Structure 1
Amino acid sequence: MTPPAVVEIDHRDPALQAAFCDYVPRVFRTVDFRRWCEWGEWNDDYRAFAVLDEGRVVANASVMRMRLRIEGREVIGYQLGAVGCVPSHRGRGLSRGVMSAALESCGEAPVLLFANKNVLGFYPRFGFKPWEQALFGAAFHAVPGGEPAPVLDLVEAHVREGLVSLSEEGLAVTERFGSRGHARIASWYAANAFSRPLRQLHADAWVFAGVENGTLYIDDIFAREPFDPRPHIPRLIDQPITAVHFGFTPERWWPWAGVAGEDSEAYLFVRNLGPPSGPHRFPVMART
């Protein structure tokens, strides 16, 4: 059988970009890339490797170039996303073809991906190994107080630019296993209304955070300098809380946080990468 022809799509080709955007909800029903593209967030770091049929994308594997942080070291690596095939074209080896093309573009660099639980047997065929992800939390009692931290809307171009600046120039949210410069991944969550509110503690410290059932969830911190988040908690909540949970390994921000269990919904697979020591959680706002 002749291998399928794979086309590389980047942000410079509006027609192919539109074809990619049409493909995504056909495979991932609640996911859309159109608004993210309209915001201009697709840049040189993101490439899609696709098979087309009569101009329509029918299979795809995307690659996001990332500045990974692994136990204090910065490593250029890649994260795969939007891997799939439309139902009408399954069983033809198209997913294997786009995966092979995507991985070839990564060379020997580290690669990671978060899988759908229905295809966990697919990725080990390409040299991927599963890694367990932990949940982190701490007991913390607080009530609302002070001037509420303003909510920033990423629909505003200047807010997106500010987030990119903090992400590129500031601290990585974790040094154990995370990334620097993932603002354009975080903005994708906002574009799809999947993120908690982005709140401004001060000019150089922004957080994605929200309260659910008496727990404050801090999903990410974008800041130029380290700070103690505890005094700011009353400004982030609109009801009393008894706990704080984190969308990342919080060794820098809340070192006394404990492991609250396994992240049973994070099916992380890695390739060309050894695990960091100790429990860890790759930041939820940096996952493609």
Structure 2
Amino acid sequence: MTDYQLVSDYKDIETYKESFNELAKIVFGLDFKKWYEKGCWNDNYICYSYVDGDKVIANASINKMQFVSNGKEYTAIQVGTVMTHPDYRNQGLSGKLMNHIIKKYEQEFDIIYLFANESVLDFYPRFGFGTVQESSFSLNKSDLKAQTATTHSIRMLDTDNTVDFRMMEQFAVERTPVSSIMGVKNNEHLLMFYFILAFNDAIYYIEDVDTIVIFKQDDKHLHIFDIISKQKVDYDIILNSIVSADTEIIHFYFTPDYDNENLQTEFITESDDTLFVRPTCDGGTKHFLIPLTSHS
């Protein structure tokens, strides 16, 4: 293998940052530019990359955050944006980056984890990662605990509106974890990514309860991707404010901390995002789902 240079933590170095973004567009079809031009690339997102000259040819990034599981907090590293330029594959670059990250952080953090698709399921166990099965959570609208005619007005937020965007930034920093069963803290850089790039047409503010909800209604299915609040979420108020006459089933993309005996849970058997954790663990609770908006 050619002796490529390893560089890291280059969010303020334009040449590397732009080259990283070009590689992300080639490999994943992702364009980070709007995200980092809006100032969302902070010190909790660090790239480790091999460069050939000034060109980023392989990368593995880390996301520093705190994990909340059953009310306890753990320091965590999520590995993401693992990619290699097509012209430089089969040289072991991703493996070298993974080993570098593990050696650097395994003593400092309680957990290292990542999500991977089925094409690389045999790759990460080589580095001591084990798979952990997540669950799905849903609720029939008819099983809402307190169906009420009292609703709260909701307003769609616009990431290109300065006032709205500042509000999103504030909520990202000050939010409480969406769940004490399984949640994350200090991951505002990732939430801002979802605000700006993934769900910019699905962000709503409920002023009466000072809460932002990311959701989409698809036919009879209501998909709730995140509930961002500065205090404990009141699910009955939130759900009654966003369900429509057409809603029959509510899907949660996180572990709802919702005391409702009719909440339906089942293990996810097929997914494009398989959870890998190091050291291996059982998640600490039978059914859980790491919040979608914390995925890197």
TM-score (norm 2): 0.87
Q: Which residue of 2 aligns with 1:236?
A: 242
2:276 equivalent to 1:277: no
SS at match of 1:216: strand
Question: Contact 1:143–1:237 at 8 Å: present in 2 too?
Answer: no
Q: Which residue of 1 aligns with 2:92?
A: 93
Q: Which amino acid aligns with 1:272?
A: P
- Rounded to whole Å, the distance in 2 between the matches of 1:279 and 1:233 is 21
Q: Which residue of 2 aligns with 1:103?
A: 102
By how many angstroms is 1:124 displaced?
A: 0.6
By how many angstroms is 1:232 displaced?
A: 3.8
2:117 equivalent to 1:119: no
- Rounded to whole Å, the distance in 1 between the matches of 2:294 and 2:164 is 18
SS at match of 1:189: helix
2:182 equivalent to 1:177: yes
- Rounded to whole Å, the distance in 2 between the matches of 1:120 and 1:153 is 37
By how many angstroms is 1:68 displaced?
A: 1.1
2:36 equivalent to 1:37: yes
Question: Residues 237 and 277 from structure 1, CA distance in 2 versus in 1: closer, same or farther, beyond 3 angstroms?
Answer: closer
Q: Which residue of 2 aligns with 1:199?
A: 204
- The match for 2:224 among 218, 223, 226 is 218
Q: Which residue of 1 aligns with 2:138?
A: 137
Question: Contact 2:178–2:227 at 8 Å: present in 1 too?
Answer: yes
Question: Residues 16 and 7 from structure 1, CA distance in 2 versus in 1: closer, same or farther, beyond 3 angstroms?
Answer: same
Question: Residues 79 and 155 from structure 1, CA distance in 2 versus in 1: closer, same or farther, beyond 3 angstroms?
Answer: farther
Question: Contact 1:199–1:236 at 8 Å: present in 2 too?
Answer: no
**Structure 1, residues 192-214: CA drift from partner, whole Å, max 9, x if none?**
24466111112631111111121
Question: Contact 2:172–2:188 at 8 Å: present in 1 too?
Answer: yes
Q: Which amino acid aligns with 2:289?
A: R
89-98 or 248-257: bigger deviation? 248-257
Question: Contact 1:177–1:276 at 8 Å: present in 2 too?
Answer: no
72-81 or 155-164: bigger deviation? 155-164
Question: Contact 1:137–1:260 at 8 Å: present in 2 too?
Answer: no
2:161 equivalent to 1:162: no
Q: Which amino acid aligns with 2:138?
A: G
SS at match of 1:241: coil
SS at match of 1:136: strand
Q: Which residue of 2 aligns with 1:249?
A: 255
By how many angstroms is 1:97 displaced?
A: 1.6
- Rounded to whole Å, the distance in 2 between the matches of 1:40 and 1:47 is 14
Q: Which amino acid aligns with 1:241?
A: T
80-89 or 98-107: bigger deviation? 98-107
Q: Which runs of 5+ in 2 are unaligned?
A: none
Question: Residues 18 and 269 from structure 1, CA distance in 2 versus in 1: closer, same or farther, beyond 3 angstroms?
Answer: same
Question: Residues 190 and 252 from structure 1, CA distance in 2 versus in 1: closer, same or farther, beyond 3 angstroms?
Answer: same
Q: Which amino acid aligns with 1:159?
A: D
SS at match of 2:122: coil
Q: Which residue of 1 aligns with 2:295?
A: 287
**Structure 1, residues 121-165: CA drift from partner, whole Å, max 9, x if none?**
111111111111111001014899856410112234543443343
How many residue pairs get matched?
Answer: 287
Question: Contact 2:44–2:189 at 8 Å: present in 1 too?
Answer: no
Q: Which residue of 2 aligns with 1:28?
A: 28
SS at match of 1:150: strand
Question: Residues 147 and 74 from structure 1, CA distance in 2 versus in 1: closer, same or farther, beyond 3 angstroms?
Answer: closer
Question: Residues 57 and 250 from structure 1, CA distance in 2 versus in 1: closer, same or farther, beyond 3 angstroms?
Answer: same
234-243 or 96-105: bigger deviation? 234-243
SS at match of 1:251: coil
Question: Contact 1:171–1:226 at 8 Å: present in 2 too?
Answer: yes
Q: Which residue of 1 aligns with 2:7?
A: 7
Question: Residues 253 and 209 from structure 1, CA distance in 2 versus in 1: closer, same or farther, beyond 3 angstroms?
Answer: farther
TM-score (norm 1): 0.90
By how many angstroms is 1:3 displaced?
A: 6.0
Q: Which runs of 5+ in 1 are unaligned?
A: none
- Rounded to whole Å, the distance in 1 between the matches of 2:155 and 2:293 is 20
SS at match of 2:136: strand
By how many angstroms is 1:191 displaced?
A: 2.6
By how many angstroms is 1:48 displaced?
A: 0.4
